[in-house]
Amino acid sequence: MMAFYVFAAIAVVASLLVIAQRNPIYSVLLLIASFGALSGLYVLLDAPFVAVIQIIVYAGAIMVLFLFVVMLLNAPHEDTDYDERVHPLLRPGPMRLGAVLAAALAVELWWALTRTGDSGRFPAGAVASVRAIGRSLFTDYAFPFEVTSILILVAMVGAVLLARREGRG
């Protein structure tokens, strides 16, 4: 119980800070913290494989890619003069429409959180093991699996091609 609240709090706070930070490097690091908390939530949901894959793929690979790009571009702040003085979340656009939407969201959340009623308890003992997932991945879902590998190949080739400097004949 406590573990859920701790992980959920970390995930939400870290995500809020991600969109509130000016410096992209801090945003990336906070997002890694959020992913760590989500990984903990997956462990609570009896999905250890997904939890570890989340750390390996998201926190360990995708975020390293983001970090590399941020360091390579070396553009730590949003760059017009106006942006330097006012915090991103306090500019006119977000303040007007955003405040309305945030209020609507808060009302909806309060409504959702107070209606716990028949809330769907998790059935005990019906857990898919890693072995079962692997088997199903290679039998029922074999076609999407192979297509995914081609997708990654296409993405790799595309990323290398798009990021090349022009004039390399």
Q: Specify the residue, 97 or 169, whose C-beta has the smaller distance to another protein.
A: 97
Do residues 137 and 145 touch, judged by C-beta distance below 8 A? yes
> Who's near 130: CB < 8 A, 6+ residues apart?
48, 49
CB of residue 142 to another protein, shortest distance in Å = 11
Residue number, 111 or 169, with CB nearest to another protein: 111
Output 98 or 169, the one with its CB closest to another protein: 98
CB of 118 to another protein, least distance (A): 9
CA distance 90 to 157: 40
Nearest approach, Cβ of 67 to another protein (angstroms)? 6
Kindly tell me which of 45 and 169 has the beta carbon lying closer to another protein.
45
Minimum distance from CB of 169 to another protein (Å)? Answer: 17
End-to-end CA distance of the chain: 61
